[in-house]
Amino acid sequence: MLAKRGRSVVLVDANRHPRFAIGESSTPLADLILGDIAEEYDLPELSPLTQFGSWQRTYPHLVCGKKRGFSYFHHRPGREFSNDEQHSHELLVAASSSDEQSDTHWLRSDVDQFFCQLAEQTGVQVVEGCRVQLGQREDLWELSQRELLATCDFLVDATGQGSLLAQHFGMTPAPKPFATAGPLSFCGSRAIFGHFENVARWTEVLREQGIDQTDYTFACDDAALHHILDEGWMWQLRFSNDVVSVGIALDLKGPPATDEESPAEEWNRILSRYPSILRQFRNARLVAPANGLQRTGPLQRCLPISGPNWAQLPHSIGFVDPLHSTGIAHTLSGIQRLVPLLLEPTSPKRTECLHDYSESIRLELNHIARLVALCYRTRKSPRLFHAATMVYFMTVVSHESRYLSGTHDQMFLCANDVDQQNIITEAGLRLQATLDAILQAPDNQAELERTCELEFAGLIAPFNTAGLCDPPAHHMYRHTAPRKPRWSDR
């Protein structure tokens, strides 16, 4: 984008493409923003990536997966997955109405390499395999490894978890940055993940168990598929080469990782508690990354810093949790807001705008954390979890429709919409009251949960344009996202 507007850009990466990276599931909002970036910055090569059909036709060599929406399945330890006519343990939320218009999972080793090559063709100087050190001389940044690589007047920190700028300024992120006092406090999660082959399709396991799928609004594996567990939740993102990105996000309220148990042992122990998931993995084999299953520490961080000649991309400022697949869309939304500022001449006004940008990302991360907290707290009750998920879908559907109607000053997921903030706060309070009441009267659990579900439906009603919480839908939502403009019509 910057090179297209005539700026001289150097892009330095510690790694070399193609390389394994996590964060693969795109969303309608991410596709909309990517399409607009393609158009505004005259980068037509990006447009086909905004939907599954055009991606497959234009770049068949770039591996992606078909993502028709979000599917969720609730499991109980020691028991086969089961359902009922009301689909009490299942939730399917379609985000597109056809395979052609579908969103995608990005095999990041392919897609990031493509982006990097496109940057190079556009005039960017790309330096790979260089873990950069920063130095400052007057108003300039000096980038070096052993010797000086480049001198520049503006630095964008896109190092994600590496948070290069924070390191440079000697800042340490606060532990548990989203743990607040209220009912929407999020203590955090850690993850174990990798890429597997020979993971049976979940639809096959359901078929083997005789579970009827005729009400499903799309094939449930063509999705960000979530298995909801006592320990946390598992994601499954299936690519068209049948490699599946799988990870387990573990609630930090559960037991910590120990040196006595390797990541693979911990993985196998958790899977062994869930017979239907275990069946899905009976022939599975880890294929990436080369150094085996990855186990992280706490994923949550938030450290926004701003100054006259530097900025961080959203993933360098912070991260909440993979639930809700917010990462790619948030990054693109940050880029879309940041680049126009970089194209402006240096001035005190620009410094102020850079500060506002950084502060808005911080507010958005807090907002995401409140939405995620609702879902983590309700995880053990499918009924409450479904209700909590609908609050997230309210924010995303509102953001998408406002974006399509041209309201581009919207913060991510309507984080600056006071009415929606109040709804989330109220949802947290009602949830807390319900959980307290269940503790007092466990026999009334079903009734209390039903009441809470109705209360949530009432709360989101003013923004519910997509039929969320509609009882006759029985958790099977046909279409929630507004129709995307076809990239070829742009």
Residues lying near ligand FAD in the complex (CB under 6 A) are found at 12-15, 21-25, 131-132, 158-162, 164, 191, 193, 247, 299, 313, 315, 322, 325, 327-328, 331
Q: Is there a contact between 276 and 76 (Cβ–Cβ < 8 Å)?
A: no
Nearer to ligand FAD by C-beta: 159 or 434? 159
Residues forming beta bridges with residue 191, ordered by sequence position:
249
Nearer to ligand FAD by C-beta: 220 or 431? 220
CA distances from 86 to 91, 383, 490 (A): 10, 11, 41
Task: List the one residue out of 93, 112, 192, 216 whose CA is nearest residue 158.
Answer: 112
Residue number with the smallest Cβ distance to ligand FAD: 23
Nearer to ligand FAD by C-beta: 334 or 428? 334
Task: List the one residue out of 42, 67, 71, 36 whose CA is nearest residue 52.
Answer: 67
Nearer to ligand FAD by C-beta: 144 or 213? 144
The Cα–Cα gap between 209 and 312 comes to 48
Nearer to ligand FAD by C-beta: 21 or 286? 21
Angle between the N-to-C axes of helices 348-378 and 382-404, in degrees from 0 to 180, rounded to the nearest 10: 150
Nearer to ligand FAD by C-beta: 322 or 428? 322
Q: How far is the CB of 158 from ligand FAD (least distance, A)?
A: 5
Q: How far is the CB of 131 from ligand FAD (least distance, A)?
A: 5
Q: Is there a contact between 67 and 223 (Cβ–Cβ < 8 Å)?
A: yes
Tokens 């193609």 map to which residue? Answer: 18
Nearer to ligand FAD by C-beta: 96 or 159? 159
Q: How far is the CB of 450 from ligand FAD (least distance, A)?
A: 32
Q: How far is the CB of 347 from ligand FAD (least distance, A)?
A: 27
Nearer to ligand FAD by C-beta: 211 or 335? 335
Nearer to ligand FAD by C-beta: 413 or 459? 413
Nearer to ligand FAD by C-beta: 316 or 464? 316
Nearer to ligand FAD by C-beta: 13 or 31? 13
Q: How far is the CB of 203 from ligand FAD (least distance, A)?
A: 20
Q: Is there a contact between 191 and 300 (Cβ–Cβ < 8 Å)?
A: no
Nearer to ligand FAD by C-beta: 323 or 394? 323
Over the chain, what HEC string results? CCCCCCCCCEEECCCCCCCCCCCCECCHHHHHHHHHHHHHCCCHHHHHHHCHHHHHHHCCCCCEEEECEEEEEECCCCCCCCCCCCCCCEEEEECCCCCCCCEEEECHHHHHHHHHHHHHHCCCEEECCCCCEEEEECCEEEEECCCEEEEECCEEECCHHHCHHHHHCCCCCCCCCCCCCCCCCCCCEEEEEEEEECCCCHHHHHHHCCCCCCCCCCCCCCEEEEEECCCEEEEEEECCCCCEEEEEEEECCCCCCCCCCCHHHHHHHHHHCCHHHHHHCCCCEEEECCCCCEECCCCCEECCCCECCEEECHHHHEECCCCCCCHHHHHHHHHHHHHHHHCCCCCHHHHHHHHHHHHHHHHHHHHHHHHHHHHHHHCCCHHHHHHHHHHHHHHHHHHHHHHHCCCCCCCHHHCCCHHHHHHHHHHHHHHHHHHHHHHHCHHHHHHHHHHHHHHHHHHHHHHCCCCCCCHHHCCEECCCCCCCCCHHHC
Q: How far is the CB of 73 from ligand FAD (least distance, A)?
A: 17
Amino acid at 256: P
